[in-house]
């Protein structure tokens, strides 16, 4: 990828139990940034990697990759109309071609049409999250945008089902969503701005907080979990909501909200760059995991019986009650250094 740059994972997705896809971003030092500025380059467009790990391939042939000099990428996966991973620019510096998109899997990789390049796009702001619902890939955006990917270059917009916030009203908009099925979708963002969508009509839902909402998880217990700034989390459904209690006062999450929440092994898992937590019996507590797992905190994805965790330190996954290493950057660098030193 970018010559001389150190990379870490910034997003991940489970395509199936044997195929995991990652977005890698460079950790730019002040020296790196100065070099970019000296050359008149935009360091927001430093090369991002899209890496595919196929765990049942022979060792040495498990990784495939490409890279794009695009803005920050987010990634999602679909089974319909085919098994794909889709990477999209979260924001964009180019107004004429907004939100570049790259597709891998089920045939040759290709650059798809930019999301907001034509009339009728569902995109209203930053593309904030993508998730699979009933096999289809959905994406939400700021200013209450929602879309469903139908095929190459084709998305169905549901944004018209939601009122558009006034320009500059950042208290309203979607940061995340989740669903029990395509007729039972919950979306949240802004200051307590949460909505239910049945596939045709949307309804705003009252929730007892005006905190900035960041993550949504529809649990296997039938509850919806919504988390906001400073790790404040609620669970409920419809018009019924209750605060989730903390096992101990937060120290680290007070400065970062959860980035992802997923349901796995009969509980909610939540993560950000500071760590990994679980919610059980209406209580948030730090996950009891090995240190090398905790170090990989950052982003979560779940699918096909697998929980995938990745971050600046590397990537791991959990299956059948056990954690497995995929790649730990410190270990890899130590091995490379040992090889160079003979």
pLDDT at 171: 82
Average pLDDT over residues 145-173: 93
For range 12-26, the mean pLDDT: 97
Give Rg (Cα) of the chain.
Answer: 20
Number of CB atoms found within 10 A of residue 42's CB: 11
User: Whole-angstrom Cα distance, residue 69 to residue 307?
Assistant: 29
Q: What is the structure's pLDDT at 337?
A: 59
Percentage of the chain lying above the pLDDT 90 cut: 76
Q: Report the predicted TM-score, pTM, of the whole model to 2 decimal places.
A: 0.94
- Across the chain, mean pLDDT equals 91
pLDDT band at 252 (very low <50, low <70, confident <90, very high): very low
- Contact (Cβ atoms closer than 8 angstroms) between residue 139 and residue 133: no
What are the tens digits of pLDDT across the range 256-310? 899 999 999 999 999 999 999 999 999 999 999 999 999 999 999 999 999 999 9
pLDDT of 28 reads 84
pLDDT value of position 335:
59
Specify which of 88-92, 252-256, 276-280 reaches the highest per-range mean pLDDT.
Answer: 276-280
């Amino acid at each position: 990828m970018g010559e001389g740059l150190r990379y870490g994972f910034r997003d991940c997705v489970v395509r199936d139990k044997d195929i995991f896809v990652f977005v890698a971003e460079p950790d730019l030092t002040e020296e790196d940034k100065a070099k970019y500025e000296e050359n008149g380059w935009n360091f927001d467009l430093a090369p991002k990697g899209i890496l595919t790990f196929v765990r049942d391939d022979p060792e040495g042939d498990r990784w495939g990759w490409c890279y794009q000099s695009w803005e920050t990428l987010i990634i999602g996966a679909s089974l319909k109309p085919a098994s794909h991973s889709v990477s999209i620019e979260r924001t964009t510096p180019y107004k004429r071609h907004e939100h570049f998109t790259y597709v891998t899997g089920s045939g040759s990789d290709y650059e798809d049409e930019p999301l907001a390049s034509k009339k009728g796009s569902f995109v209203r702001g930053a593309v904030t999250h993508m998730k699979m619902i009933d096999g289809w890939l959905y994406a939400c955006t700021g200013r209450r945008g929602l879309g469903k990917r139908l095929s190459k270059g084709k998305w169905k917009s549901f944004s018209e089902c939601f009122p558009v916030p006034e320009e500059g009203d950042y208290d309203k908009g979607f940061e995340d969503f989740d669903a029990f099925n395509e007729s039972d979708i919950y979306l949240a963002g802004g200051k307590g701005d949460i909505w239910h969508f049945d596939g045709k009509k949307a309804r705003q839902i009252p929730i007892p907080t005006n905190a900035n909402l960041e993550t949504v998880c529809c649990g296997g217990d039938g509850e919806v979990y919504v988390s906001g700034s400073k790790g404040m989390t609620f669970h409920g459904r419809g018009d019924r909501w209750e605060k989730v209690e903390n096992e101990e006062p937060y120290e680290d999450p007070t400065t970062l909200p959860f980035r992802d929440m997923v349901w796995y092994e009969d509980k909610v898992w939540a993560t950000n760059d500071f760590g990994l937590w679980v919610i059980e019996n209406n209580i948030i507590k730090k996950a009891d995991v090995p240190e090398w797992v905790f170090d990989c905190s950052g982003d979560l994805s779940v699918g096909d019986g697998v929980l995938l965790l990745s971050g600046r330190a590397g990537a791991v996954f959990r299956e059948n009650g056990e954690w497995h290493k995929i790649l730990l950057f410190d270990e890899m660098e130590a091995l490379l250094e040992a090889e160079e030193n003979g």
